[in-house]
Amino acid sequence: MSEATIPESDSGWPNNYFNYFTETEEHFQHVRGTALFLLSPLDWALIENWKNAGIPLEAVLKGIDDAFEKWRGRKQRRRLVNSVAYCTQAVMEAAQRAPSSQRRGTMATQSPFAPEELRSYLTRAAESIKQNPAQAFQSISSSLENLSREVESFLDHLEELESRLTALEEKLVATVRMLQSDRELYALRQKLNRELKPYRAKMTADQLSMLESRYLATALLERAHLPRLSLFYLH
């Protein structure tokens, strides 16, 4: 999406609900001028943080534009912008300028997913988690299988399905965390601290706390080769 095509209507946030991640990624790549640039786990955790905080997609895209405009206006550019985290302050400012009606949206009333699409997504996640014999994993897998059999009832209530998946993912992350050694958890946190260091001054304590939590959750699931469960990862 180019700068000229950023939607201005307040209908953009609900309509783009399930495109939040891909829209942000593609826009960052476009403005940076490097289509093959891959976002880091820190970037994905930050975008998820914005999404869960109810920051409109339009504010995120506008904040990215503003951050790069400011960067390009500098006489000296010591380094390239290599993380979405560089845009944090600009995104927050854009969100504050957004009309209050846009600051927190709801899912579109018409489901963007077909029943078979949802069922396949939940079944694949259940099968992946079932590969681990621990009882806690088996319980989560069974819950996902039950949800897959009830997808029709969620087509007009995706927020409820998303809430259930969030609860299951939290349980999954907690289970994986318990299986990690102290040394492994320390190494993950050290890596996070290195990636966050250039951007800490741009974020509040609450933002940092939420970002750290989401980053570690994502890293733990990736290390265990387990899927994210949110519907945002369906596409």
Helix (H, G, I), strand (E, B) or coil at 227: coil
In the chain, the percentage of residues whose pLDDT exceeds 70 is 83
Radius of gyration of the chain (CA): 19
pLDDT in tens, 181-218: 999 999 988 988 888 887 777 777 877 887 788 888 88
pLDDT over 80 at 110, yes or no: no
- In terms of pTM, does the model score above 0.85? no
Spell out a b/e string for 102-118, using b for 16 or more CB atoms within 10 Å of the CB, else e.
bbebebeeebbbeeeeb
